Structure 1
Amino acid sequence: MNELRKDYLLERFAIIAENRGKRPQDFAQNPRETGKKTKKETTCVFCSGNEHLTPPETDRIGGRGSRWLLRSFYNKFPAVSRDFPRAFGVHEVLVETPIHDKPFYKFSKKEVCTAFNFYARRVRALYNDPEISYVSIFKNEGEKAGCSLAHAHSQLIALQRIPRLVDEELHSFEVRKSSSGKCVFCEIAEKESKSERLIYEDENLISIAPYASRSPFEVWFIPKRHVAGITGLNKEELDSLADQLSRILKKLAQITNSIDYNYWLHTAPKAKDFHFHVELMPRLSIWAGFELSNDLYINTMPPEKAARALKD
């Protein structure tokens, strides 16, 4: 039977449409041709050796010249910029490997951990800027997720103002904590560790299919320790995040054949309390007129069933 479910924190709802439900294998897509290069290494501006083709570099991990492991630079077509008085901010590209056409789900746990360490480093650097209030880091993987380049990368947008959705989440978080004295995400981690929506758990972090999942196989990664932002994660927590994210991405690729997804970091705005977590959204369904006009989502894969499939 179908069920209307509310988000843990926001006034956001999803209809879990079990009567329209599918088996996990029914979400298989036509395989993406990951071996066929959409751009050759000689022309891809993200590849090692083509550093001169990108806008100015902001940071890197690795050696000089072309001997880098990760590097960041200003986006060539920025949504925000220090040069835009009415759209002030910073828009960067974070290239996570010098190797062309190596999808993120094929990264080793160590490589994923290095990427998240780099994210933390960029957030820390930008929060030192007094004009920046919030830093958003996100990954678009695959055409259905809004990505046109095969070379693994994420993006960073730093803003003067806290975005509306983040502000609503922060306000609800503060109201709940003020009334109960507890962090809602600490409570989620404790409660969901005993539920059938649990996917993985270790001493540092849990991954769950959230109760009011908006899309098939949506996953949240929540540290057990109360930590406001990515810059506060310790080595063990980063290792756990990399391990669980890697395992789930590989399983998603196995289930769906073609892994198009977005993930984004929910990190605290500057000088604010929050509970850091990562949200992963595979792009297996289309949000059409109903979803877009009502901010209400129809999910044909119950999260309980999704969790079982992802941890098999």
Structure 2
Amino acid sequence: MRELRFNPLTGQWIMVSAVRRNRPWRPRDFCPFCPGSEETGYGWEVLLLPNRFPMLSFDAPKPEQEEFYTKARAIGQCSVIVETPEHELRDLDELPKEQMIKVVELWKEATAKLMENPRVAYLAIFRNKGEEIGVSLTHPHGQLYAFPFIPLKARLKIENSRNYYHRFGECLFCRILEEEAKGERAIYENESFIAFMPFFASWPFEIHVYPKRHVQYLTQLNSKETRDLADVLQVVTGSLNEVLERDMPYTMMIFQAPFKGKYPFYHLHIEFYPILRDNGKVKYTAGIELGTWEFTYDGVPEENARKLREACKRVVKRLNAEGRCF
């Protein structure tokens, strides 16, 4: 059984899939993403594989309708992005630079292909890392979900950036970029991108990555910007793993504009949500966060930004990165 259920109180679609119960949990004797498995074969550098336990599928059945509640077909695509044949690498900062560029190029290719599908309204490319996050397979990988609807968080960002554009005649993201580039919370920049802890951070070591050029999609990045995106993401993940001197569990989400309609006021951006507030201390989303969706911040963002900048300086030297730390 696979279907979408609409929450009339929040305006969200809930993805329901019975097959998700069958996902393996960190198998010790077999990795389906390593070269030579039934799914991967040999001779590849990066792979886009169908998720064997998807929430969405283009052949999803039509659900039986309820008298009051709304259901819809769980149309879409769930895929796994296998980032390297090397099983033991821990994070993006450990990939060879050219390999990281291939990962970004795969994101662009997947975006371009799914843009052509009229049943896809929104594409979410994301990455989970760490057992604390709930990652079931440790081989380095990301994922994508191609939705038939625009998710609530993306809708809110679109609405607020549209309202700001109509009121002030400028891109809200570009203005945030201007403010954060002043340096108090800025962490790293190269020619094309800047990484910073936002003024409104929810997570203790939250990092956002914005392109300096006003673009809406990964497909609009030129070859230099593609290389610079690979560079900044390696510095960010390296800094997160360095700041507490241990692997940082996190979720990374790429926000592009929806595929249907025009969004000149919107701006491509990437957000990292690291869940540790200190070494061995998890920032739990508990009562107030789950009950109201309003976050508490344990500490001062500017102090944690300074810690990230110090970590960034060590990482930039190790990676021979293209840009500079603030």
TM-score range for the pair, normalised by the shorter chain length: 0.7 to 0.9
Q: CA RMSD in A?
A: 1.6
Extract unaligned runs of 5+ from structure 1: 1-37, 55-64
- 1:172-211 matched pairs, under 5 angstroms: 172-211=160-199
Alignment correspondent of 2:280: none
1:265 aligned counterpart, secondary structure: strand
52, 59, 64: which is aligned to 1:76?
52
Alignment correspondent of 2:307: 309
Identity of aligned residues (%): 35
1:144-198 CA-to-partner distances (Å, cap 9, x unmatched) read 1221211011111101111122111111111111111100111111121113011
Q: Which amino acid aligns with 2:36?
A: G
Residues 1:263 and 2:268 aligned together: no
Q: Which amino acid aligns with 1:218?
A: E
TM superposition shift of 1:216 = 0.9
TM-score when normalising by structure 1:
0.80
TM superposition shift of 1:116 = 1.4
TM superposition shift of 1:303 = 2.0
Alignment correspondent of 2:130: 142
How many residues are paired up? 263
1:248-286 CA-to-partner distances (Å, cap 9, x unmatched) read 222221223132111010011114322001001111111
- 1:94-133 matched pairs, under 5 angstroms: 94-104=81-91, 105-133=93-121
- 1:1-312 matched pairs, under 5 angstroms: 39=27, 43-50=30-37, 52-53=38-39, 65-84=41-60, 85=62, 86-104=73-91, 105-256=93-244, 257-270=246-259, 271-273=261-263, 274-284=266-276, 285-312=283-310
Q: Which amino acid aligns with 2:111?
A: V
Higher relative contact order (CA 8 A, sep 6+): 1
TM superposition shift of 1:201 = 2.0
8 Å contact from structure 1 (residues 217, 301) kept in 2: no
8 Å contact from structure 1 (residues 214, 299) kept in 2: yes
1:304 aligned counterpart, secondary structure: helix
Distance in 2 between the 1:301 and 1:260 partners?
Answer: 19
1:66-125 CA-to-partner distances (Å, cap 9, x unmatched) read 000011111111011112242111111111111112122312333222211111110110
